[in-house]
Amino acid sequence: MVSFVATPIGNLGDISLRALETLRAADVIFCEDTRHSLKLLNHFEIRKPLVACHKFNERAAAEKLVSLASEGKEVAVVTDAGTPVISDPGNVLVQALREAGIAYTLVPGACAFVAALVLSGFPADKFAFLGFLRRKNSEKREFLKGYALFDGTLAFYSAPQDVDDDIALLAEAFGAREACAVREITKVHESVQYFNLSQGLAGEKRGEYVLLVRGAEKRENPLNSLSEEEHIAHYMAQGMSKKDALKAAAKDRGVSKSELYKFTVRDDSPRN
């Protein structure tokens, strides 16, 4: 069995009993950075063979993982902090295990963006996790453009050396929205700092950041300013049948079709 194991994002006391049991039972542990994971394992007096698995060797590591698992070895996979795969190596490993028909599971635990979303107090009923902004600025702008009208909270990861540039790009894409920077989660200097994207984030930048941005305000559909008859006629003028136009107008206005049906029925009876 292969187990993907979430590890603490700061406070070592956050590791779960199941995570410790899994790491102690493993024959080998795949780590994003063996030096980093060794500190965690030494803290809990766990001594196991370690295999490096990072973004530069993940495909080769996947082959080794499949080979070991096929031999019946118990394998644990961890990253430097948090849940494997989430903006960390691991996805290639999961795909390789699926293709090989090898059983795997997740030992859940800490995840930085989930913790930051809770701490921010921003709406959490709808959100999009977008991770680190990578590649050229032109590509980042194009990527962010696709979320300009998203009305849920947006969550990003940002390194201290990138956070000012990232915020400038977010301001360019989303305008003067309220945002929140969460850092040092679960650590002594944990902080939650609110700011406006247009004004930037004040202070010296230290530690990894989770940036939360409020979603776009819902915009009123301009067609809703028309009368009911005009609204339906607008869609019929585009070639829709009366039935489809009625359905489209009802969706725009957030009402049932039955509420608009009367506006499609004309009284053509002769009048005295």
**Could you report the per-residue pLDDT of 81-115, keeping only the tens digit for each?**
999 999 999 999 999 999 999 999 999 999 999 99
Q: Any idea of the CA torsion for 5, 85, 12, 160, to the nearest 10 degrees?
A: 170
Q: Which CATH class is domain 2-110?
A: alpha beta
DSSP string, 194-255: EEETTT---S---S-EEEEEPPPPPPPPGGGGS-HHHHHHHHHHTT--HHHHHHHHHHHHT-
User: pTM for the full model?
Assistant: 0.79
Residues of the chain with CATH 3.30.950.10: 113-213
pLDDT for the residue numbered 272: 46
Alpha-carbon gap, residue 130 to 256, rounded angstroms: 35
**23-53 b/e (C-beta count within 10 Å ≥ 16 → b):** beebebbbbbeeeebeebbeeeebebebbbb
CA distance 63 to 36: 23
Burial of 109 (0-12, 13-18, 19+ CB in 10 A): middle
Retrieve residue 50's tokens: 């370690």
pLDDT at 269: 46
CA distances from 33 to 25, 88, 120, 205 (A): 20, 11, 30, 24
Rounded to whole angstroms, how far apart are CA atoms 48 and 79? 15
Q: Does domain 113-213 have CATH number 3.90.1010.20?
A: no
Tens-digit pLDDT profile for residues 216-231: 987 667 777 788 888 9
Which regions of the chain carry the CATH code 3.40.1010.10? 2-110
- Residue that is written with structure tokens 């999009």 in the block: 128
Which residue ranges of the chain lie beneath pLDDT 70?
A: 219-220, 265-272
Q: How many helices (DSSP H) and strands (DSSP E) are in the chain?
A: 10, 10
As a whole-number percent, the residues of the chain with pLDDT over 70 amount to 96
